[in-house]
Amino acid sequence: MLVDDDAFQLKLLGLHLRQIGALKQQPFTAARAALAALDSLPEGQTIDLLMCDLQMPDLDGVELLRHLAERGFRGQVALVSGEDARLLHTVEKLGRAHGLQVLGALPKPVAYADVQALLRRWPTGERRAVPVRDVLPLAELRRAIEQRELVPHYQPKVELASGRWVGVEALVRWQHPERGILFPDMFIAQAEEAGLIGELTKALLEGGGPELGVLPQLRQWLDEGLHLQAAVNVSMAMLNDARLPDQLQAQLDAARVPASNLVLEVTESRLMEDARTTLDILTRMRLKRIGLSIDDFGTGHSSLVQLRDVPFGELKVDRSFVHSAHQRPDLLPLLRACLQMGQQLGMKTVAEGIEDEADWRHLRSLGCDVAQGFFIGRPMPASQIKAWAMSWEARRAALTD
């Protein structure tokens, strides 16, 4: 279904699509007519793709998206508009916030190559399933923590200048006996709300189940001559007990791991009740030489406030500012500003979300220190990390010339 009040643009788009093989088309020059057609679709017929303009006299694109959402439209949506890129991205986000499947946006006049590129993004069904929030009883999570069903996966971090492998980020996975592997978006928020996140993190660090915990794993890597830093995620909501720094120090000592090999990736949280305790804890962690990284920088509520008040040594730019920034004039200034802030404060800068070689080369040219992302390596169990390191060595020279 194609919707544009400009008959010429409508024809042009139709031609491009026909050339690609999309032969069944329904063009409309008014959004209300398109909606009426949707409402009277014959039983069993569905619309795979709806492409619409933003500026239309009877109903603009934003209104059209709202109407689509109200009707529970399940097809893909693409925006076609002469508006500037930032506005287009905002509308894209809005569509997704409505629960619509937004494929992307195309600038006008529509170019054949752009239509092709857009359609290549059609979801193939290999994406992770949408999390189901309320099916996991809390008791199960408690049991999982006690039974050590939570295991770390590791995603590599490498230096952009040299390609040297310098560390990993530990990401928790739940090896559920019946459901298989569960991802953190299914249980971290719940663990935080139930006050279980401290226990969960402790279990992840110490291990005791089928897999080594992060600290014993780190010790093993050090013994093998791999001088890595391992990062674990903590939310500020967890930093509410002034005994934490000493507890963590005791865990480090027990595992015989130097504090400087551990990094805490801290995400801000609305739940931060007691700023004084949090600051107390973070500052003492730092005095103990445990690394502190501000995670997902640029998103959330008060990134600059955290940067001002907390002695972070590392700044991790959120991936939404990283991937594709080289071709996004609306993102580039934000990415540069984040990196510059980190650099001028003497922090190590890390870019997450390096998804392709263009991202890699771009962040390298911007002087970012460390990279992380699917292009370098996906999160994986510890057992696969050596094979990854071998294959990275093979790719490294070509990426650092």
Six-digit token pair at 277? 């305790």
Among 38, 100, 151, 204, binds ligand G (CB under 6 A): 204
205 to 234: interface string for ligand G, x by CB under 6 A: ---------------------------xxx
CA distance 222 to 229: 10
In the complex, the smallest distance separating the C-beta of residue 75 from Mn ion, rounded to whole angstroms, is 34
CA 316 – CA 155 distance, rounded (Å): 14
Q: Of the two residues 6 and 206, which places its CB atom closer to ligand G in the complex?
A: 206
Q: Using the rule CB under 6 A, which residue among 155, 217, 303, 349 binds ligand G?
A: 155
Site for ligand G (CB under 6 A): which residue of 27, 107, 183, 222?
A: 183
C-alpha to C-alpha distance for 206 and 67, rounded to whole angstroms: 51
| By the rule CB under 6 A, 374 interacts with ligand G | yes
Tell me if 184 contacts ligand G by CB under 6 A.
yes
> Site residues for ligand G, window 162-181 (CB under 6 A)?
171-172
Which C-beta is closer to ligand G: that of 77 or that of 354? 354
d(CA 291, CA 259): 8
Site mask for ligand G (CB under 6 A), range 316-345, x = bound:
---x--------------------------
Closest by CA position to 80, among listed 180, 10, 179? 10
Nearer to Mn ion, 101 or 299 (CB): 299
Closest to 8 measured CA to CA, from 138, 109, 103: 109
| Residues 235-254, interacting with ligand G (CB under 6 A) | 235
Sequence-separated (6 or more) residues with CB below 8 Å from residue 198: 238, 241, 244
Residue closest to Mn ion when measured from CB atoms: 265
What radius of gyration do the chain's Cα atoms show? 24
Helix (H, G, I), strand (E, B) or coil at 68: helix
Provide the minimum distance between the beta carbon of 379 and ligand G in the complex, in angstroms, as a whole number. Answer: 5
Q: What CA–CA distance (Å, rounded) separates 267 from 189?
A: 13
Cα–Cα distance measured from residue 372 to residue 301, given in angstroms and rounded to the nearest whole number: 24
Among 341, 373, 382, 388, binds ligand G (CB under 6 A): 373
Among residues 149, 211, 296, 314, the one that binds ligand G under rule CB under 6 A: 296
Place of tokens 């795979």: 48
Write out the binding residues for Mn ion, residues 232-291 only, by CB under 5 A. 233, 265
- Look at residue 178 and give its three-state secondary structure: coil
Nearer to ligand G among residue 280 and residue 355 (C-beta): 355
Calpha distance 55→59 (Å, rounded): 8
Q: Is 295 in the site for Mn ion (CB under 5 A)?
A: yes
Bridge partners, 52 (sequence order): 3, 79
**Span near Mn ion by CB under 5 A; candidates 39-47, 215-223, 231-239, 367-375:** 231-239
- Strands 76-81 and 49-53, bridge-based pairing: parallel
Residue 198 is a binding residue for ligand G (CB under 6 A): no
Residues in the site for Mn ion, rule: CB under 5 A?
233, 265, 295
Residues in the site for ligand G, rule: CB under 6 A?
155, 171-172, 183-185, 188, 197, 201, 204, 232-235, 295-296, 319, 352-355, 373-374, 379
